[in-house]
Amino acid sequence: MKVFNENEPVRNPKLRGTMRTLKQSAGALEEQVFLEALKQAKLLAPVEMEPVSAKGQGTSGESMPVTDDVRIRFLLIHTPDKVAYFPAFTDEEALEKGKWPGGKTPKSMILTLEDYCTLILSSEKGAAGIAVNPFEENVQVPRSQLAKLNGKAMPHMVKKDTKVLLGEPKEYPKELVEAVKEYLKTQKGVQKAYLQQMVKDGEESYLMIVDFEEISRKDLFEGIAEAAAPHLKDKLLDLVPYSENFGRDAAQKVTPFYAKKRFGLF
């Protein structure tokens, strides 16, 4: 990430062209061409910068890393139903089209798609994805799509009221399981782990239920996600704790693929 420099303007004519085409004909091919262009693009993220000594944080942004003597806050935009997205702009002209508070265009930083993935996928809550040129073409890329593009697992909880279908994986992901097992062996607080295939809101994913104690769920799930990522291919991985009702119910009819070693036996 770096601060936008007017002497080095960001231009993405190819990406903008794919967005216009996608809006006219939203087919699988057009979407793939857009996503490939997005991977290669440098994008502008609006930010607010203030001295480190400044106190407080507004409700319109996320993340406040400190860079030298400046604190940076990434601005968010919200849909009419109050869903938050990180805005991403193809160029300064698109950034200036926004209806910003006070009519003043904010400063910006140059981010890649990988940077956006890091900002969004590192948190279970927060932005629902990115919106490219939200005041013009407004092409939205949700969290689940970002996870696929970035080869990451999705370390989040399944909501209690979500309707899901569970079953054995059609093709057992042996390499994924072995990679996760090796990681879990390094985590003393993990007792058992189970694997199911899940269909949630029409989308297939692997569901991993983890029985653990005295360990940070966030750190554990992120570690599992990192171990699993190279073997996910085009699927997502949902992670839930065994301590929750959903996790216990989902684990009832399957044998754990990992169990903590006790007295020389698994």
Among 9, 77, 78, residue whose Cα is nearest residue 43:
9
pLDDT above 90 covers what percent of the chain?
Answer: 41
Q: Is the pLDDT of residue 54 over 80?
A: no
Q: Is the pLDDT of residue 71 over 80?
A: no
pLDDT digits (tens, 9 = 90+) for 212-241: 998 888 888 888 888 888 888 767 888 889
**Strand ranges for the chain from DSSP E:** 2-3, 43-51, 61-62, 66-67, 70-75, 77-78, 84-88, 107-111, 129-132, 139-142, 164-167, 190-200, 203-212, 236-241, 258-259
Calculate the alpha carbon distances from 38 to 30, 139, 149, 165 in Å.
12, 11, 10, 33
Q: Regarding predicted confidence, which is higher, 96 or 253?
A: 96
Confidence of residue 91 (pLDDT cuts 50, 70, 90): very high
> Mean pLDDT across the stretch 249-257?
90
Among 120, 75, 119, 81, residue whose Cα is nearest residue 100:
75
Q: Is the pLDDT of residue 45 over 90?
A: yes
> Mean pLDDT across the stretch 58-82?
68
| 168 alpha-carbon distance from chain centroid | 26
> Mean pLDDT across the stretch 241-248?
90
Q: Is the pLDDT of residue 24 over 80?
A: yes
What tokens does 228 get? 């699993």
> How would you classify the pairing of strands 236-241 and 203-212?
parallel
pLDDT digits (tens, 9 = 90+) for 152-178: 555 444 555 556 788 888 889 999 999
Of the given ranges (8-12, 97-101, 158-162), which has the lowest mean pLDDT? 158-162
Mean pLDDT score of the chain, rounded to an integer?
82
Most confident of the ranges 62-66, 143-147, 209-213, 225-229: 209-213
Per-residue pLDDT at 225: 84
Residues with Cβ within 8 Å of 35's Cβ and at least 6 positions away in sequence, in order, are 141, 145, 149
Confidence of residue 33 (pLDDT cuts 50, 70, 90): very high
Position of tokens 């704790």? 241
Cite the residue boundaries of each domain of the chain with CATH code 3.30.300: 164-259
How far apart CA 89 and CA 26 sit, in angstroms, is 20
The arrangement of secondary structure in 164-259, i.e. its CATH architecture, is: 2-Layer Sandwich (3.30)
Q: Regarding predicted confidence, which is higher, 164 or 210?
A: 210
Q: Regarding predicted confidence, which is higher, 155 or 196?
A: 196
Per-residue pLDDT at 187: 93
Of the given ranges (10-14, 62-66, 85-89), which has the lowest mean pLDDT? 62-66
How far apart CA 224 and CA 246 sit, in angstroms, is 19
Exposed, middle or buried, 255 (CB in 10 Å: 0-12/13-18/19+)?
A: exposed
Per-residue pLDDT at 20: 93
Per-residue pLDDT at 161: 55
Which residues are 166's β-sheet partners? 198
Q: Is the pLDDT of residue 179 over 90?
A: yes
